[in-house]
Structure 1
Amino acid sequence: MEFFASLHPKIVHFPIALLIVYTLLEGIGLVFKKDIFTKAAFIILIFGVLGALAAVLTGNQAEETWKNWSSAGKNLLEEHETFASITLWYFFGVLILRTLFVINIEIKNKFVVHATKMKIAFVILALTGCFFVYETGEHGGEMVYKHGAGVSIEKQAQQNQVEHGD
């Protein structure tokens, strides 16, 4: 399981980037009224949700391998884990709604009159989701840079030497 834990820092940046790009594409598609952007947004959202799932699963494994938590570190970890779960489930819900939208608009040709309103709603949902992405990353970054989560012992020793002039 340590192998999966070691993948977390390598995987985690993909869903961050993909979900932000998804949001940008939704906005661009709305502003420029080009279907290519909204279709690309849908595909990027699928990969973003899959990446978020991989990040959460590998993050859970990483948590199991790290035992040296301070009280503040444990609280930070719990907040990071909570925001990561919220992000995953939130964008999974957006993906379900987006899939229903694609089925109704693209395949069944229903609700075309409300398509612009739906696109506005998806931009708002995506922007809200970006807040969760930000909070997850903020807490994760703080765990690494302030508490040394996932940092090897050798690197921590070198950092201590630099900080203390040893």
Structure 2
Amino acid sequence: MIDLIFDVIPQIHGGGNHDGLGAVKGLEAFLTFIESLTTKSPAEIFAAFMPGISAMDNIHPLLVHFPIALFTVFFFADTVGGLLSRPAWRIFATPLLYIGTFTALLTVAAGMQAAYSAPHNDATHAIMLRHQAFGITVTVLALLLSLRRYFAADSFLYSKTYGHFALTGLLIVCLTLGADLGGLMVYQHGVAVAPVMQKNTTSIQNQPQHEHNHGSAPHVHTYGINISPELQDSAPHAHSHNGHQHSH
């Protein structure tokens, strides 16, 4: 569907790649596409309109954008509004905190599930644990800030609440560090990237395996998969998702 739209739009405006579909042929292709939907299952229809989301094994990468955006806007609106005595800014920031906290809970829950489902090696496992710790810390801080704000007196938004500002700043620092580690796992090590995961799974099947029970799902780790030598040497040899140590 997306490809069809971008093939047709340049032709309508008289520019772009003239090897693409013309307006008439584009309309014909669109009607054919709509007709084809009648033969598809709901899952296939969703994949036709949202190929990116349907390709995800876990929605954690989709959800994580919401707390990042909401907490960042909240931090600036609430802190600047408080320091400059702009209560309207702080009133605007309040629902951002509440919604951000809710999405953070969903994001952490999805991330926990992703930790068990995405194939990864020992080096990325160590990064994943730190990423997880920052995510949980952000969520706990957000819950504390939300509860403090919800039960605060009416004068709270009209005062310079420096402790509240400091706690929000700490939340943003943890949020930034956690997001950085998430990017490192994906862009440096290819965690949850389909071609890399397929390669890792094939490598695991072709090598001697050692399993670790992480509480709810068997989990396989191996060395030498999409990992730089220096990280491979420094990877920890004992790890756990639930507090039980496993030695290599």
What's 2:164 paired with? 122
Q: Give the structure with the larger helix fraction.
A: 1
1:21 and 2:73 equivalent? Answer: yes
What's 1:164 paired with? none
Q: Return the structure number with greater relative CO, CA threshold 8 A, min gap 6.
A: 1
What's 2:24 paired with? none
Residue 113 (structure 1) shift: 9.0
Residue 22 (structure 1) shift: 0.6
Verify the 8 A CA contact 2:85 2:158 in the aligned structure 1. no
Q: Percentage identity across aligned positions?
A: 24
CA distance in 2, matches of 1:96, 1:124: 16
Amino acid in structure 1 at the alignment position of 2:159: T
Question: Compared with structure 1, are the counterparts of its residues 146 and 113 closer, same or farther at alpha carbon in structure 2 (3 Å cutoff)?
Answer: closer
Larger radius of gyration: 2
Question: Compared with structure 1, are the counterparts of its residues 71 and 42 closer, same or farther at alpha carbon in structure 2 (3 Å cutoff)?
Answer: same
Question: Compared with structure 1, are the counterparts of its residues 87 and 8 closer, same or farther at alpha carbon in structure 2 (3 Å cutoff)?
Answer: same
Residue 6 (structure 1) shift: 2.3
1:72 and 2:117 equivalent? Answer: no
Output the TM-score relative to the length of structure 2.
0.54
Q: How many residues in Structure 1 have an aligned counterpart in Structure 2?
A: 145
Q: What pairs up with 1:1-166 in 2 under 5 angstroms?
A: 5-67=57-119, 69-101=120-152, 104-105=153-154, 112=155, 115-118=158-161, 120-153=162-195
CA distance in 2, matches of 1:113, 1:75: 41
CA distance in 2, matches of 1:22, 1:51: 14
Q: Give the structure with the larger strand fraction.
A: 2
Output the TM-score relative to the length of structure 1.
0.78
CA RMSD for the aligned pairs? Answer: 2.3
Verify the 8 A CA contact 1:5 1:61 in the aligned structure 2. no
Amino acid in structure 2 at the alignment position of 1:150: A
SS state at 2:151 partner: helix
Residue 144 (structure 1) shift: 0.5
